[in-house]
A and B are shown apart, each in its own frame.
Chain A
Amino acid sequence: MSAGQLDNFFLWVDAIGVWQVLCRDDLLIGSAAAVDEAADIPLLAPLSRRHARFIRQDDAWFLQPLQSCAVGGRPVTGQTLLRNGSEIQLGDRVRLRFRIPSVLSASALLEFLSGHQPRLSLNGVLLMADTLLLGPRQDNHVCCPAWPDSVVLYRRQQQLLCRSKIPLTLSDAPLPEQHDLSQGAILSGPELRFRLEPGRTNSAV
């Protein structure tokens, strides 16, 4: 198991959408158009190759601008604390909303406001701290209104695990107590199905 797979995966949720999940505490956002694409979050947008960094310190997220950035309409030059609902502007055109949907987790969600997206259309980018909540509640990271209950994805040591009151199956067998989803997995339950697809390394995207 390589650390890269755990760091970066796609979360495909049937009938809901797709999110890119990034697990590191220091993430680079920049243009996807560059030949040597370096960004963890590459957007098809008029940005620099390395435009800004998202940095997590304990339970707080900061924006470290490398090029022109604004938070909440104000240009920022130094490391800036991001609050739930903050609007981030990168360059002249790109606008993102930063959210921390759940008070139970430091995981954050980036939503695309200006229509600038990575090469694949995403519903958003999840900056995962230790846990992700998928479920019917508005304050879940991925809100799935039709689901009967929530599913929690969490990291333990180098493993990615899943927990829920819903009886879940992994590859058509009941989800075992000991499992690791970091290599990718398809999880199903009554009325729901989602897939974790390991992200490729940056250079291969």
Chain B
Amino acid sequence: MKFTFGPETRPLEGITIKRAIHRGGFGEVYYAVTDAGKEVALKLLHNNLEVELRGVSQCLNLKHPNLVTIFDIRQDAERDHWIVMEYVGGQSLHDALQQHPDGMPLQQVLNWLTGMTAGLSFLHDRGLVHRDLKPANIFSDGGVVKVGDVGLSKFISESRRSAQTQSVGTVYYMAPEVARGRYGREVDVYSLGIMLYEMMTGRVPFEGESAGEILMKHLTAEPDLHLLPAPLKTVIAASLEKDPERRIHDVETLLQQFLQAVTATGLPLQQPAVFHTLQPDDMFPGSRPVAPRQPAAGGSAERVAAGTAAAGAAAGIAGAATATADGPQPTMARQSGYAWGSLLQLWNDDLPAPVRWMLTGALLLAGLRSGLLTSPAAQGLAIGWLAWWMFGRSKKSQPLTDSRNAQPNASAAADRLDNTVIMPQQQSEPTGAVAGRPQAVRQRPPQSHTAAAPQYRSVLLTPETVRSFTLLQRLLNATTSMSLALVTAVFVTAAVFWGTEILGTPVEAIYFGAATLLAAWPLILVSKLWEGRPGESLLRRLWLGLCGLGVGALCGVTAEFLLLINSPVPSQIFQVDSNGLLGNREAAGLKVLQDGTPTIVGFALFFCLLFMFRRWWLQADNFRSARFRIGSSILTLITGGMVSLIVPFPTVLGSTLALAVSVVIQVSAVWTPPELRNT
């Protein structure tokens, strides 16, 4: 980073520059000492527009502990203007945000907000508007929050050329009406709202590749608030209103409402307001029970209604990063998403976990017992659903990338903004002579400054998150899960044996338990080996299919060994009710069906398909959204039924086995609660 003035130069009488501090949108800032030993910050204005100087001179005599004091405006021998101001050591809000990429503790948010509000309120009370609030302008010096660059805002003023120096870092915090040339104090409220959002979530609500894209989002997109607890959501939404008339009118009110909302959430102040969790979403897209999962201390009020993520995405180009996973969907899907969402919310949030588990078990057993699953209606539903799942879902990630094309007007407007308003690349040549300067290299702030805008973490902690484990950790996780699976399998088998009439004899029950374990163990093992690694879904399915072949063969051999098939008195549970789509084929001397029961080949085929049709590793991942998700289990049960329609395999046994494996894996596999997750 090159600076015009070197150490020990004295552009102004009586003041010696010691070092450069940084280069901002307005010019270079230096740390300097007066001859008497007073520390000051010197800001060299690159473009000496009268407009700006008037702004600064208005603020020359403002005295407030939360505003960076301006001492003087001076001119050097080259007739360039310098602002002499209070030197503020300590951290900027920008630095503080970088230390908390997932949101800072609420107490810190309150500290920053209170200080900023006091300073801004003082400013507004004198009829002044800051207009350029951003984290890089806010400092904390010995615990006192100071708002800097007062009176220096160089927004898109009447003379649009001054906006050429606009860096992307500023645009993140710019109110939409600024693009139309309006600067009421609501502009500051909006910027404050954006910073609050950023402090709580670790990211700005409107991100984008270019200044034009971000401006466009300020104008049209709704902020994605689904991560915030409900009371805070209301306040942030009110501070980010597009229409300044409908926005919270002053900063004091914003502070009041924010304080009340924080109290209403009952959250402890030592931790951030949000936890980042996102579901792998292998089912029911648009209805994920997204979750600022609170620790036990939090009430249920701040649990956020599922489906709001879809609402956020409805604006088309909103919330780029968070909405990627579940972009805009067809209207019908979204509507049904709401209904399902509120049902799911009731289920997830309002029922205590033990009740949920007992109800789940009872419902599943009742379903199995009633024989509902084997009815033609259930099978029809399942086929339709499977078809949608396989072919209907794949489109959902596309609309997001095309959103700009989908809104020709909006995108044209964005391009216009790109070209006319924001031109960060453009060199603004200084008008003053440069001769006689120690190092007369006057350049635009380098791009690195623009790029120094916070690097927001767009990846939340989901099974897709890449993590590193040592082999030992992996093996420990796998063995822990597998030992737990042994116990779980016994319980599940007992429940099926006594709860339903599927299993008639103790031998059949033993077989059922053994088969469940034989399937669950390899699935857990490979899942834990894959955990945290990037991997192609299709490839993993193929590997699982291979595992399935082996597991199926083993299950077949076991059944034969227990004299359940291929024996004088074959067990009733293996009686195949339909020949399936595959039918009773015979190839290379291998039969899939013999005497109405599946052969070892039949077993192998059944498990092969069952393993391939589900992304099992998501059910075992330690970053799965909840330890046990009933949806996943039901889906697995249906998959089991589906597979037994393809391969000739007893439907009831097939689907029940699939369900049992899913339950055992989910309950047993090691799981990290969202609030304890880190990579």
Contacts and interface: CB of A to CB of B under 8 A. Distances in A.
Contacts of B448: 146
B1 interface: yes
A83 B84 CA distance: 42
Interface in B27-60: 31, 33, 37, 39
Contacts of B402: none
Interface string A185-196: 010000111010
B20 A120 contact: no
Contacts of B33: 120
A120 B19 CA distance: 13
Nearest to A16: B19
A15 B20 contact: yes
A193 B39 contact: no
B1 A191 contact: yes
A96 B584 CA distance: 82
A18 B18 contact: yes
Interface string B565-598: 0000000000000000000000000000000000
B1 A195 contact: no
Nearest to A12: B19
Interface in B121-151: 142
A13 B3 CA distance: 12
B1 A14 contact: yes
Given A15-B20, A18-B31, A146-B448, A193 B37 contact: no
A77 interface: no
B87 interface: yes
B7 interface: yes
B169 to A, nearest CB: 16
A189 B18 CA distance: 18
Given A120-B33, A121-B89, A195-B19, A12 B1 contact: no
Given A18-B31, A120-B33, A146-B448, A193 B8 contact: no
Nearest to B19: A12
B275 to A, nearest CB: 28
Contacts of A18: 18-19, 31
B443 to A, nearest CB: 12
Contacts of A75: none
Interface string B1-29: 11100111000000000111110000000
B1 A15 contact: yes
A87 interface: no
B441 to A, nearest CB: 11
A193 B6 contact: yes
Given A119-B37, A186-B6, A195-B8, A15 B18 contact: no
A197 interface: yes
Interface in B396-412: none
Nearest to A184: B8
A115 interface: yes
Contacts of B142: 115
Interface in B272-325: none
A18 B32 CA distance: 12
Given A12-B18, A18-B31, A120-B33, A193 B3 contact: yes
Contacts of B7: 12, 186, 193, 195, 197
Interface string A103-146: 00000000000010001110000000000000000000000001
Nearest to B88: A121
A191 B3 CA distance: 9
Interface in A10-36: 12-15, 17-18
Most chain B beta-carbon contacts within 10 A, residue among A115, A191, A192, A193: A193
A146 B37 CA distance: 30
Interface in B51-98: 87, 89
Nearest to B448: A146
Contact of A13 (B19, B39, B89): B19
Interface in B93-121: none
Interface string A136-178: 0000000000100000000000000000000000000000000
B90 to A, nearest CB: 9
Contact of B1 (A17, A119, A120, A146): A146
A155 B6 CA distance: 25
A14 B37 contact: no
A193 B2 CA distance: 8
B21 A15 contact: yes
A186 B438 CA distance: 12
A178 to B, nearest CB: 23
A192 B19 CA distance: 11
B222 to A, nearest CB: 36
Contacts of B37: 119-120
Interface string B530-569: 0000000000000000000000000000000000000000
A14 B19 contact: yes
A198 to B, nearest CB: 12
Contacts of A119: 37
B543 to A, nearest CB: 40
A166 B266 CA distance: 54
Contacts of B20: 14-15, 193
A119 B39 CA distance: 9
Contact of A120 (B3, B21, B22, B39): B39
Contacts of B2: 191
Given A119-B37, A193-B6, A15 B22 contact: yes
A145 to B, nearest CB: 10
Nearest to A196: B7
A119 B448 CA distance: 33
A192 B20 CA distance: 10
A114 to B, nearest CB: 10
Contacts of A195: 6-8, 18-19
Contacts of A191: 1-2
A115 to B, nearest CB: 5
A195 B6 CA distance: 9
Contacts of A193: 3, 6-7, 20
Contacts of A15: 1, 20-22
Nearest to B31: A18
Contacts of B6: 186, 193, 195
Contacts of A13: 19
B420 to A, nearest CB: 32
Contacts of A197: 7-8
A144 to B, nearest CB: 10
A121 B19 CA distance: 13
A195 B5 CA distance: 13
A121 B39 contact: yes
A179 to B, nearest CB: 18
A121 B1 contact: no
* 6 smallest beta-carbon distances between A and B, as pairs: A12-B19, A14-B20, A195-B7, A121-B89, A115-B142, A14-B19
30 contacts: A12-B18, A12-B19, A13-B19, A14-B1, A14-B3, A14-B19, A14-B20, A15-B1, A15-B20, A15-B21, A15-B22, A18-B18, A18-B31, A120-B37, A121-B39, A121-B87, A121-B89, A146-B1, A146-B448, A186-B6, A186-B7, A186-B8, A191-B1, A191-B2, A193-B3, A193-B6, A195-B6, A195-B8, A195-B18, A197-B8
Interface of B: 1-3, 6-8, 18-22, 31, 33, 37, 39, 87, 89, 142, 448
Given A14-B1, A18-B31, A120-B33, 8 more contacts: A12-B19, A14-B20, A17-B19, A121-B87, A186-B7, A195-B7, A195-B8, A195-B19
